Structure 1
Amino acid sequence: MKMELSNLQVIQDIRLTDFPTQIKNQFSNKSLKKQLRKERRELGEMQNVLYAHGKYSVLVCIQGMDTSGKDSLIREVFKDFNVRGVNSYSFKKPTEIELQHDFLWRHYKALPARGKYAVFNRSHYENVLISRVKPSIVLNEKIPHINKVEDITPTFWKNRLEQINNFEKTIHQNGCIIFKFFLHISKDEQKNRILRRLNKPSKNWKFSPEDLKDRKLWDEYTAYYEEAINATSKKNAPWYIIPSDNKHHARLMVTRTIKERMQEFTDIQNPTLPEELQNQIEDFKKQLINS
């Protein structure tokens, strides 16, 4: 599989088992890291123009199974961004205040301002993924007429997916460019990464017994990921399936995907000074030199 957007973007219903978790290539990890440095510098320069232009914002959602490399990918891909132009959010268990609002409220609050990026490490999709696997979580939301797990019907999940589509449609129509990445790893690779966490004392803190419990639910998570991706991959908010057994390759693919799609927005340009000020630039220079 060539590393092209057409191969990564979900444009029709998919099965995750049909997608590779690793793409064979002729590049060493050292070469992949070198390519990433070049691509992310260019993306960083594009972000500066986006910031100056000030009319679009960019939302990047990163999803994936445990150990799929979300944290390190965010760190490496956005390393060359101006810190004023990007914010990263990691959505954990909702707080009491967040539970007093609808499930999208805390995500609305974290949306990027015009000219900025926001990166969601996990996202609003957790509400149709982990909540789907463990529906008792929904009871904490205190939704009218949802008093027990049996009240959570297939229609409830269908409506929630539609609410997500409406949310993304609204922010897109108001100038937010949306990227959604699923970091696709194999079950064997997950096992290897968990073992590394256990074998390396400096990484022990990343391990939780809950990881092993969730691993037993692999097939359920996969089924609900497929359902969510198929229901919400739209032209205005596409999903991209990123083979992620090789972290270096995954980071490069995400960077290139963002860069290539952002290049389609040819109206994003550095603003120019009003003509009357441009005509005075030489005068301004002289004033500074003589000051």
Structure 2
Amino acid sequence: MKIDAESFRIHEGAAVDLDKSPSRVAPVYGSKAQYHAMLAEHIKQLRALQSVLYADNRYAVLFILQAMDAAGKDGVIKHVMSGVNPQGCKVFSFKHPSATELQHDFLWRTTRDLPERGQIGIFNRSYYEEVLILRVHPEILHAEGLSGSPGAETALWQGRYRSINDLESHLHRNDTRIVKFFLHLSREEQRKRFLARIDEPDKNWKFSTADVEERNYWSEYMKAYEQCLSATSTKNAPWYVVPADDKENARLIVSQIILNMLEKLNLRYPETTTQRRNELAQIRAALDREQS
């Protein structure tokens, strides 16, 4: 079944209204068996492309996942990236900044973990937290010791959007390719998943009172996401709003988007030069002589 991945893309300059963006769409798979078969094929293709990405050594790739709690970020990483070589893929999860990190600009702690050429980097949450959770909880800004004047929050957020866009433009010019995913979960589906975390003992560790408290700010978070997605989805670093109420569907959509992006890079194994072929011939001859 063909997945129209581009239908989930936010085009540059487009206004985002998450109330009009579905958190559930018709599944791209017809059965559980077909889901597993499709995901296995995606993983197989991704494994092959990762191998060429490493050998080609021209591009770095960064995938960013943002979402409300219980939207399935961990599951996407676990299932979609299950077949890649761990030597060529690193996952970073950004929690509350440390005291040292708070002494730097808001992009500092994440830029330290950007992928190198030939590598895949995954940010489970990212520098986008600085225009999401801080926008909902502006009191956290006090810990960052900013020098801005009181009441200048609009300029602050616009400045941060610009800093993010400038960073991502810089990275693109230097051959880091970025794709960003917002896993769009409904409030009702989050409630069900929270209940599952309570009812299933092996999921209790995932749940905290703070998760429920954040539900009280649902509307504020949706507004923050809308403004962030509108301001920072660009041609070279697009956002995709992925319906996440169906976990399996979301994984297939994300994996298809990743495959599409990697295929557009026209990756290739380095060509063997005449000099290199002659060198290999000499090595083969030496190895053959060891048998005689």
**One fold, TM greater than 0.5?**
yes
If the length of structure 1 is used for normalisation, what is the TM-score? 0.94
Corresponding residue SS for 2:10: coil
Corresponding residue SS for 2:264: coil
**CA distance in 1 between partners of 2:279 and 2:169 (Å):** 44
1:285 aligns with 2:284: yes
Aligned pairs for 1:34-73 within 5 A: 34-73=37-76
Stretches of structure 2 lacking an aligned partner (at least 5 in a row): none
Corresponding residue SS for 1:97: helix
Corresponding residue SS for 1:279: helix
**CA distance in 2 between partners of 1:280 and 1:209 (Å):** 64
**CA distance in 2 between partners of 1:111 and 1:44 (Å):** 21
Aligned pairs for 1:1-291 within 5 A: 3-11=3-11, 12-25=14-27, 27-145=30-148, 150-266=150-266, 268-291=267-290
1:52-86 residue CA offsets vs partner (Å, 9 max, x unmatched): 11111001000011100001111111111111111
Q: Percent identity?
A: 38
Would you identify which runs of 4 or more consecutive aligned residues in structure 1 move more than 3 Å?
A: 279-283
- Counterpart AA for 1:57: A
1:86-122 residue CA offsets vs partner (Å, 9 max, x unmatched): 1000000001111111010011101000110110000
Shift of 1:33: 2.1
**CA distance in 2 between partners of 1:27 and 1:168 (Å):** 37
Corresponding residue SS for 1:178: strand
Shift of 1:151: 4.2
CA contact (8 A) 2:164 2:232 kept: yes
Corresponding residue SS for 2:24: coil
- Counterpart AA for 1:273: T
Corresponding residue SS for 2:123: strand
After TM superposition, the structure 1 stretch with the greater mean CA deviation from structure 2, 71-80 or 151-160, is: 151-160
Q: Aligned-residue CA RMSD in angstroms?
A: 1.4
- Counterpart AA for 1:191: R
Corresponding residue SS for 2:70: coil
If the length of structure 2 is used for normalisation, what is the TM-score? 0.94
Alignment size in residue pairs = 286
1:188-207 residue CA offsets vs partner (Å, 9 max, x unmatched): 11000000000011111111
